[in-house]
Structure 1
Amino acid sequence: MRRKCPKCGSKKVVEIMYGLPPMGDQWKKDLDEGKFVLGGCCVTNHDPKWYCKDCSLEFYKLGEIPPEAGWNT
């Protein structure tokens, strides 16, 4: 199932990857092609999982919308 942005409806949604990536050739290629975005090295238990490439919304599991998004479902 292709993810859909809960704010703008775009299907240009990619996973946010956390931690220190290995940055091998395949990782670099996938990053350059926009198949995922880097979320940083510090990992918490409340980091967003998905990123919308159209409206830049970072969001969580399906149905979870962060309060800072400023809207409700």
Structure 2
Amino acid sequence: MVIHGYKHKPERCPACGSKKILDRVYGYPSPEMIIAENDGEIELGGCHKEDDDPDWQCGDCHMVLHKLD
């Protein structure tokens, strides 16, 4: 498995070249968060964030991207 790690949110997806890199948001989703996900503005990542969970996701090909600490 290839893990793509970045210090900052990348401008383009390394797999497809898309500029649609979405923040992956964790926690119990509010109604506003659900609307934002449906509008393609964020990606919901689940209720709990583990250390190895991704921070961003490509909105086109769905590749997950990790922030380096």
Superposition TM-score, scaled by structure 1 size: 0.66
Cross-structure match for 1:8: 16
Poorly superposed stretches of 4+, deviation over 2 Å: 26-29
Name the CA distance, whole Å, in 1 between partners of 2:35 and 2:16. 27
Answer 1 or 2: higher relative contact order, Cα 8 Å, separation at least 6.
2
- Aligned runs of 1:1-73 on 2, under 5 Å? 3-21=11-29, 23-24=30-31, 26-61=32-67
Name the CA distance, whole Å, in 2 between partners of 1:16 and 1:38. 6
Identical aligned residues as a percent? 37
Which residues of structure 1 form unaligned runs of 5+? Answer: 65-73
RMSD: 2.1
Change (3 A) 1:28 1:56: closer
Letter in 2 for 1:41: C
Note the C-alpha offset of 1:50: 0.8
Change (3 A) 1:18 1:55: same
- How many residues are treated as equivalent by the alignment? 60
